[in-house]
Amino acid sequence: MIFTVAVDGPAAAGKGTISKALARRFGLAHLDTGLLYRAVGARGGDPVAAARGLTPDDLARDDLRSLEAGQAASRVAAIPEVRAALIAFQQDFARREGGAVLDGRDIGTVICSKAEVKLFVTARPEIRAHRRWLELGGDEAQVLTEVIARDERDMNRADAPLKPAPDAVLIDTSDLTIEAAIARAADLVAARLPPA
């Protein structure tokens, strides 16, 4: 079975949590595409060379979830040559036998524009900043400033800006529990899965 679930959205909206839950529930492979960009940013040096030379060890680094790695990912993701170097990897993963869930910023619009299910997971910036602050600590006002700056950068980059695909289903998690958001997404996937 070839079946792709594309999950896009801004930072700390819940797309990773939802994607992992969908992969577990339906027995699909999962790829957090943001980790690819975080790994490229964390490697330092020439981002294009880093993207072309990415290894599984780079994806296993324990510092990829830091705020710094997220900011670096947003910066290198704006470089067209970096995006081009990582597209084939993501597309191959998406169309693997057994199905896959990919989450990121441009999965439904660029990487997997023909995905069987497209979700756009979002939440108000203040909610997302509070979630990120609970996860990472620091100054909550500064985290909000950084979330807004990252949204601005991601939504206004020239190459593959963050936006919902025209046929994506919007899930706003601002006022939903994790369980309710996952249930909503699971219902959408279940409705489109081919019969076993």
Binding residues for ATP, by number, are 9-17
In this structure, are residues 14 and 7 in contact, taking their beta carbons and an 8 Å threshold?
no
Q: Please, which residues have CB within 8 angstroms of residue 154's CB and are 6 or more apart in sequence?
A: 10, 74, 77, 105, 161, 162
Closest CA to 81 of 104, 50, 103: 50
In this structure, are residues 17 and 121 in contact, taking their beta carbons and an 8 Å threshold?
no
- The Cα 75–Cα 38 span in angstroms is 10
DSSP 195: P
Binding site residues, as ranges?
A: 9-17
